[in-house]
Homo-oligomer: A and B are copies of this chain.
C-alpha cells in the first residue's frame, strides 16, 4: 500500500461506537487497506471529555475541542459523526461537513429521520457521499441491501425488528416467564436498556429507523412524523403465553408498505407465526425483510447494536468512500424522491389479537361479543384463561377485518361497566407475509 494516499478520518463522539471504530481500524488495518485499496486512518477526534478512559490510545490523533472544526481541517478527508441527537451539534457538524465538501458518515437515525432530505440535498449539491449504514439495524448491511442489492426491484413492503432492547425484553419475558417491568429493570441493570428507556420501549427508535428504510425502499421522502407508533409497555406475560398457545410469538415490528398512492408506516407489537423467520429472531438481534417485484422476499438479520456491529457498519461506509462510491444518499436524487400521503387506519385490514381485562362476573362475555357484533368484527376464537383473582382476561383472535372495526369494538368494550383498563390489540402477521 506504500505510495497510496490514506483516507483520513475525523471522528466526532468517542462513546462506545466511536471507540469501537478506532479499535476496528486498528485491529483490521491491513485487511481494510487491501479491501479499500488504500489505508483508512484516524487523524483527528473530538469528544466532550478528553480524559475519560476508553480503552484506546488517542494520543496519536489531533484532539479537537469543537467538533464542528472537523469539517474544515485539512487533515480530515471524511467526517464520522457519532455524537447523536436529531439537532444540535450533530446537525451543525453534518451541515458544516457537507458544505465543506467533505464526505459524511453517521450512525444518527434521529437526525436522518428528521433532517435526512435536507442532508441528502446538501450532499448532492456538494457531490460528496452521505452514508449511514450504522443508523439502521447496526451491523447488518441493510441500507446497502435495499439501496444496491435490491435496486432492480420495485419494493412493496419492508418489515423489520429494529430495536434490540425491545426484542431482548420480549424474548426474555417469553423464555423466562417474567413480567415486562422485571425484565426492564434487569436490562437496565445489565446495560441493555437506558436509564430512561422510553425512546426504545415506546418505539421511537424503531420508528426513526423505519422512516429511513421506507425512503430507501420506496423512493419516497423520509417522513418520520407520519409513522404510527405503539411500544411494548403494555405487553403482559399473559399476552405472550396466550400468543404462544395460539402458535405465535410477539415481536415489536416496523412495517412500511405502499397501498395504492399512500404509505403505511407503523411500529407496533405484532403476533408472528412460530416457524416464520422473524419468530427466530431472538434477544438483541435485529432483522429486516423486504418484498421486491422480481426478487421476492429478502431477509437479513444480525446484531442491531453494540460497539462491534455498529463500528463494522461505520467502517463499511468508510471503505465504500475510499473505493470511490458516491451515489445519492437515499438511492436516487433527492429531487426524484416522491412525497406519499400517509395511509390512515382505515386503509388497514387483517387478523388481530385483542386482549381485555374485565371483572370476572356473569354477562360480561355477552357484552363483549355484542360489541364485536355491532362493530362488524368476526371472531375466530375467544379464550378466557383461568384467573386467580376477580380480574378475568379475555383474549380474542379476529378473522380478516378492517382495523377501524377493531378500534370501534375496542372503544365500546372499554366503556363497558365491567372493563378494567384499556384493551390491547395487535396485528397478526400472515404466515406468508
Interface residues, chain A, CB within 8 Å of chain B? 20, 24, 27-28, 31-32, 34-37, 133, 139-141, 144-145, 148-154, 219, 275-277, 280, 292-303, 308-309, 311-316, 318-320, 323-328, 331-333, 336
Identify whether the interface residues of A are mostly helix, strand, loop, or mixed. Answer: mixed
Q: A153 touching B297 by the CB < 8 A rule? A: no
Q: Which residues of B contact A133 (CB under 8 A)?
A: 149
**A-B pairs with beta carbons under 8 Å apart, 25 shown:** A28-B152, A31-B154, A31-B219, A37-B333, A139-B294, A141-B148, A141-B150, A141-B298, A144-B145, A144-B149, A145-B300, A150-B316, A151-B315, A151-B316, A152-B316, A280-B280, A294-B309, A295-B308, A295-B313, A296-B303, A297-B303, A299-B299, A299-B302, A300-B300, A323-B325
* Sample of 12 further A-B pairs with CB below 8 A, known A35-B219, A300-B300: A28-B154, A139-B292, A139-B295, A141-B150, A141-B298, A145-B300, A150-B312, A152-B313, A153-B312, A277-B277, A292-B312, A295-B308
Q: B311 touching A152 by the CB < 8 A rule? A: yes
Query: A315's closest neighbor in chain B, by CB?
Result: B152
| Complex Cα gap A332–B32 (Å) | 9
Q: B294 touching A308 by the CB < 8 A rule? A: yes
| Complex Cα gap A37–B327 (Å) | 9
Q: A152 touching B293 by the CB < 8 A rule? A: no
| Complex Cα gap A336–B319 (Å) | 17
| Complex Cα gap A68–B354 (Å) | 64
Q: A294 touching B323 by the CB < 8 A rule? A: no
- A28 contacts which of B276, B294, B300 (Cβ < 8 Å)? B294
Q: What's the least CB distance linking A127 to chain B, in Å?
A: 12
Q: What's the least CB distance linking A261 to chain B, in Å?
A: 16
Q: B302 touching A298 by the CB < 8 A rule? A: yes
User: Nearest 3 pairs between A and B by C-beta?
Assistant: A141-B149, A152-B315, A139-B295
| Complex Cα gap A229–B173 (Å) | 43
Q: Which residues of B contact A154 (CB under 8 A)?
A: 27-28, 31
- A301 contacts which of B299, B312, B325 (Cβ < 8 Å)? B299
Q: Which residues of B contact A27 (CB under 8 A)?
A: 154, 293-294
Q: Which residues of B contact A302 (CB under 8 A)?
A: 295-299
Given known contacts A34-B333, A325-B325, is B140 in contact with A20 (CB within 8 Å)? no
Q: Which residues of B contact A24 (CB under 8 A)?
A: 152, 294
| Complex Cα gap A114–B335 (Å) | 45
Q: Which of A148, A298, A303 has its CB near the most chain B CB atoms (within 10 A)? A: A148
Q: Which residues of B contact A313 (CB under 8 A)?
A: 152, 295
Q: B35 touching A331 by the CB < 8 A rule? A: yes
Q: Which residues of B contact A277 (CB under 8 A)?
A: 277, 280, 301
| Complex Cα gap A63–B282 (Å) | 53
Q: Which residues of B contact A140 (CB under 8 A)?
A: 149, 298
Q: B148 touching A319 by the CB < 8 A rule? A: yes
Query: A277's closest neighbor in chain B, by CB?
Result: B280
Q: B315 touching A296 by the CB < 8 A rule? A: no
Q: Which residues of B contact A301 (CB under 8 A)?
A: 277, 298-299
